[in-house]
Amino acid sequence: DAGVIQSPRHEVTEMGQEVTLRCKPISGHNSLFWYRQTMMRGLELLIYFNNNVPIDDSGMPEDRFSAKMPNASFSTLKIQPSEPRDSAVYFCASSTGQGLDSPLHFGNGTRLTVT
């Protein structure tokens, strides 16, 4: 079990640039979650997918953020254009269920710095 794989591990970009974060969930998991973590706001749920379909994107900050899951083994979170306030650690997680009866398995995150 390779766990949830996120790339890149670190990303430094300039304000206005497009940023794409990638996630490979654990094989066989049918739910995928994107979280953002900052010191001020803690862990925030941005969006989650079930069977590749976005179920709830109410946590996405604004239209600059978009997420896709073209197949069961890959998801992307895109920020366009990026802003300094987007600097955070972005985590992807997967699970076998939709609710809290199924443990979430997190990746090690992507640390994004927007200058």
Partner 1 sequence: LAKTTQPISMDSYEGQEVNITCSHNNIATNDYITWYQQFPSQGPRFIIQGYKTKVTNEVASLFIPADRKSSTLSLPRVSLSDTAVYYCLVGGSGNTGKLIFGQGTTLQVKP
Residues that bind partner 1 (CB under 8 A): 4, 31, 33, 35, 42-43, 45, 48, 50, 55-56, 91, 93, 97-109
* 65-71: strand order across its sheet: 5-7, 19-24, 74-79, 65-71
Class of residue 87 by CB neighbours under 10 A (exposed 0-12, middle 13-18, buried 19+): middle
Q: Could you tell me the smallest distance in angstroms from the CB atom of residue 45 to partner 1?
A: 6
Q: Could you tell me the smallest distance in angstroms from the CB atom of residue 42 to partner 1?
A: 6
Q: Could you tell me the smallest distance in angstroms from the CB atom of residue 104 to partner 1?
A: 7
The C-alpha atoms of residue 34 and residue 25 are separated, in whole angstroms, by 11
Q: Which is nearer to partner 1, 50 or 81 (CB)?
A: 50
